Amino acid sequence: MLLMESIDFNSSLGFIQFYKQLLEMQNNKKAKRTKLTKEQIDVLQQAFTLFDTDKSGSIDESELRNAMKALGFNASKEEVQKMVEQIDRDGSGTIEFQEFVEMMKKKMLEDKNVEVEIEKAFNYFDDDNEGAIDLEKLRRVAADLGEECDEQTLKDMIYAADLDQDGKVSKDEFMMVMRKMKLI
């Protein structure tokens, strides 16, 4: 199926769907996992100690959610429950420090990788490094992908993501739209 055929351009989500599919096409390889720095582990130790309110050496779901929030990661109650289930090796319903480090490492690296990939997608459109995606760039990408789009469809795609209505999608607008779509 062609990329453009799978997108509903009559909705304001068409532009976002286009970006999401481009992002998937650009890099299907998993990003390399790296180790956390000593400083990052120290921050995690401080957070773990701070949120281990009963000083038991482990934190429960409520404590974990608060710790993640303090570290800048918003996770729903359901996400935290799922994380605990996935990482809790002994089935105690709590997370020990090493389990916490492994879980946070995964979350930190995933979030970083998603942002990097979204930036790559933006840069694919912004081939002249102007810092914005305009109608001409969108037309070029559609042509690169072998897709035919009428002028109004392309204009609608720009309009859907152009928050300040200047006729271009800036990098900040692009990132804000991705955050809104919970891709970052």
Structure tokens given for 151: 């002028």
Each residue's pLDDT tens digit, 149-177: 788 888 888 888 888 999 999 998 888 87
Asked if residues 84 and 95 have their Cβ atoms less than 8 Å apart, the reply is yes
Higher pLDDT, 160 or 144: 160
Q: What domains does the chain contain, in order, with CATH numbers? A: 4-31+114-180 (1.10.238.10), 38-107 (1.10.238.10)
Q: What is the pLDDT of residue 74?
A: 73
Each residue's pLDDT tens digit, 87-110: 888 888 898 998 888 877 777 666
Tokens 């319903």: give the residue.
93
Burial class for 78, CB neighbours closer than 10 Å (0-12, 13-18, 19+): exposed
CA distance 33 to 54: 33
Q: What is the pLDDT of residue 73?
A: 72
Give pairs for 123-126: CB < 8 Å, separation 24+. 124/22, 124/26, 126/171
SS3 170: strand
Q: Which of 177, 175, 172 is nearest to 161 (CA)?
A: 177
Question: Would you state the torsion angle of the CA atoms of residues 48, 50, 52, 56, taken in this order, to the nearest 10 degrees?
Answer: 100
Name the pTM for this structure: 0.45
